[in-house]
Amino acid sequence: MIKYYIAIVLTAILTENFVLAKFLGICPFLGVSKKLNTAVGMSMAVIFVMAMATAVTYPINKFLLIPNDLAYLQTIVFILVIAALVQLVEIALKRFIPSLYSALGIYLPLITTNCAVLGVVLLNVEKAAADASFGFAASMFNSVGAGLGFLLAMVMFSGVRSKLESADIPKFMQGLPITLVAASLVSVSFLGFGGVVENIFG
Amino acid sequence: MSPILLAVIIVAAIGLIAGLGLAIASIVMAVPVDEKAEAIRECLPGANCGACGFSGCDGYAAALSKGETTDTTLCAPGGADAAAAIAEITGLAAGEMIPMTAVVHCKGNNVNAENKLIYSGIESCKLAIQVFGGPKSCSFGCLGYGDCEKVCQFDAISICDGVARINPDECKACKMCISECPKHIISLIPKEKANAVVLCMNHDKGALTRKECKAGCIGCMKCVKNCEAGAISVINFCATVDPEKCTGCGKCVDGCPVKCIYMQGNICMVKEEENVL
């Protein structure tokens, strides 16, 4: 059983990395990866929101939408719920943990309806529909794994970008062009993980 | 019930619950905003220069609001206007504020000062001073690489012929340049009062000073004898003027054999004959 969950987490981090393999959440990936500390702050907020979003949307999907044959409403209901949830978390953090609020503060509203967050909850219900053994716990592990994968991608890419800062780049490539080229190369490197998890645990 | 109606009801209900929840949460968990601090913050110039000794304008506003300080005159860039506005909000006594300006006590420009070495490193006073105290023979003088110019938020400082000069009209007396200068030759003097300033900080003996810089104070005591108000004193072969005693008569300026005493306001901002000697 533990092996099953480890496999889920590792798959989410490496082979199905949300940024580098599924190309979700590219906007914060390019926007906030300039410095390591902001990249880590953003990733922490993403992990937190992904876990919270799955914890809330999974029961809504299972006990409200599916019994009423309303699975086609998943996207719109999930956006609504996640947005409200992030706002609530922001208010609560501001009140009770101001230090964490000031650390995550600016990133929380940014990821309110980030496609990576919406993506992870939609993929969770998709997997749950296809595979009966993929329950609530598996969904949570998958979400946290996806968040960790986001963290890994952000940290790696902030390293790449700090190297780019000191590199002598031709003028026409400076700024976003070279950043996108570098992102695609990092993404290609992640293709190397294809099949690794299946072969270890399969 | 038709499936469309059910879908509408469910989504509407979720939206309503979320909306109500957020509304309640924002009331229950509202963070009290310090209105007094906000009002004080509006009066401050927002340069975040740190002249007040707090962490920027927000820090000073919060400290005033909480009563951690009762001094309304700490904001140098805001000046008397800010002090009066703060006093009105807080009900504290509006302290008297003398407008100050920073001045660089050096006249060792490229013509006056001798060089002991040629420095071709990075243009920074802090780095140049690592190499035998900088390229100038005088170990007290302005290096002219503009560390103060870079740190000034009000564009008051310019490098004129190898020496930093501060425009008193632009200077807000935030003291950023004073803490930045590695030679410690910048100080504050009253801005509006007629006041003599010695543009030298050289404490070497007169004969040595003479070799290092044509405009260096040699400690001849002539200004001390000329001063009727007793405002000038010579300590370690360098004259200083006490701005509180100075009457602005200008006798020291006329009598100085090396011409290193100036009236505040007459210090040239640009390369001019008078400055070059």
Structural domain boundaries in chain B = 35-90, 100-276
Q: Do B29 and A94 touch (CB under 8 A)?
A: yes
CA dist., res. A151 & res. A36, Å (int) = 11
A71: nearest CA partner in chain B: B7
Q: Map residue B197 onto helix, strand or coil.
A: strand
What percent of chain A lies above the pLDDT cut of 70?
Answer: 97
**pLDDT reading at B54 higher than 60:** yes
The answer to whether the CB of B44 falls within 8 A of the CB of B82 is yes
Contacts of residue A42, defined as CB under 8 A and 6 or more positions apart, other chains included, come to: A28, A32, A107, A110, A111, A154
Q: Map residue B263 onto helix, strand or coil.
A: strand
For residues B120-125, give the mean pLDDT.
89
Could you write out the DSSP letters of every residue in B216-235? ------HHHHH-SS--EEEE
Give residue B270's pLDDT band: very low, low, confident or very high (50, 70, 90).
low
**For A140-149, B70-79, B115-124, B248-257, which range has the lowest pLDDT when averaged over its residues?**
B70-79
Give residue B145's pLDDT band: very low, low, confident or very high (50, 70, 90).
very high
**Domain span at A101:** 2-156
Min distance A95 CA to chain B CA atoms (Å): 6
Identify the bridge partners of residue B102 per DSSP, sorted by sequence position.
Answer: B188
**For A23-32, B207-216, B226-235, which range has the lowest pLDDT when averaged over its residues?**
A23-32
Give residue B276's pLDDT band: very low, low, confident or very high (50, 70, 90).
very low
Identify the bridge partners of residue B197 per DSSP, sorted by sequence position.
Answer: B262
Q: Do A88 and B22 touch (CB under 8 A)?
A: yes
CA dist., res. A119 & res. A12, Å (int) = 12
Of A81, A91, A92, the CB nearest to B18: A81
Domain B35-90 shares a fold with domain B100-276: no
**pLDDT reading at B269 higher than 70:** no
A77: nearest CA partner in chain B: B11
Phi/psi region, residue B157 (left: phi>0; alpha: psi -120 to 50; beta: rest), is beta
Q: Do B3 and A64 touch (CB under 8 A)?
A: no
Q: How many domains does chain A have?
A: 1
Give the dihedral of Cα atoms A178, A179, A183, A189; nearest 10 deg: 50
> Strands, DSSP E only, in chain B?
100-104, 157-160, 163-166, 186-190, 196-198, 232-235, 238-241, 261-263
Q: Do A70 and B3 touch (CB under 8 A)?
A: yes
Q: Do A84 and B21 touch (CB under 8 A)?
A: yes
Higher-confidence position of B134 and A27: B134
What rounded mean pLDDT belongs to chain A? 85
Could you write out the DSSP letters of every residue in B147-175? HHHHH-TTS-EEEETTEEEE-TTT-----
CA dist., res. A14 & res. A143, Å (int) = 13
Of B10, B26, B30, the CB nearest to A70: B10
CA dist., res. B108 & res. B140, Å (int) = 10
Contacts of residue A1, defined as CB under 8 A and 6 or more positions apart, other chains included, come to: none
Amino acid at A62: K
Residues of A in contact with B11 (CB under 8 A): 73, 76-77, 80
ipTM over 0.90: no
For residues A95-104, give the mean pLDDT.
73
Q: Which two tokens stand for residue B259?
A: 């011409």
Q: Do A73 and B10 touch (CB under 8 A)?
A: yes
The answer to whether the CB of B277 falls within 8 A of the CB of B267 is no
What local confidence, expressed as pLDDT, does residue A150 receive? 93
Residue A174: inside a domain: no
Residues of A in contact with B30 (CB under 8 A): 95
Residue A101: inside a domain: yes
Q: Which of these, B169, B171, B168, B149, lies nearest to B160 by C-alpha position? A: B149
Topology given in CATH for the domain delimited by B100-276: Alpha-Beta Plaits (3.30.70)
What local confidence, expressed as pLDDT, does residue B277 receive? 37
Q: Which two tokens stand for residue B22?
A: 């957020």
Which residues of A make CB contacts under 8 Å with B?
60, 64-65, 68-70, 73, 76-77, 80-81, 83-85, 87-88, 91-92, 94-96, 98
Higher-confidence position of B88 and A149: A149
Amino acid at A66: I
B27: nearest CA partner in chain A: A91
Which architecture does CATH list for B35-90? Orthogonal Bundle (1.10)
Q: What is the pTM of this model?
A: 0.55
Which of B9, B16, B22, B34 is the best mutation test for A, with the most CBs of A within 10 A? B22
**pLDDT reading at B266 higher than 70:** yes
Of A68, A81, A95, the CB nearest to B29: A95
What local confidence, expressed as pLDDT, does residue B268 receive? 66
Q: What is the pLDDT of residues B146-172, one digit of tens each?
A: 999 999 888 889 888 889 999 888 888
CA angle B139, B141, B147 (to 5 degrees): 110
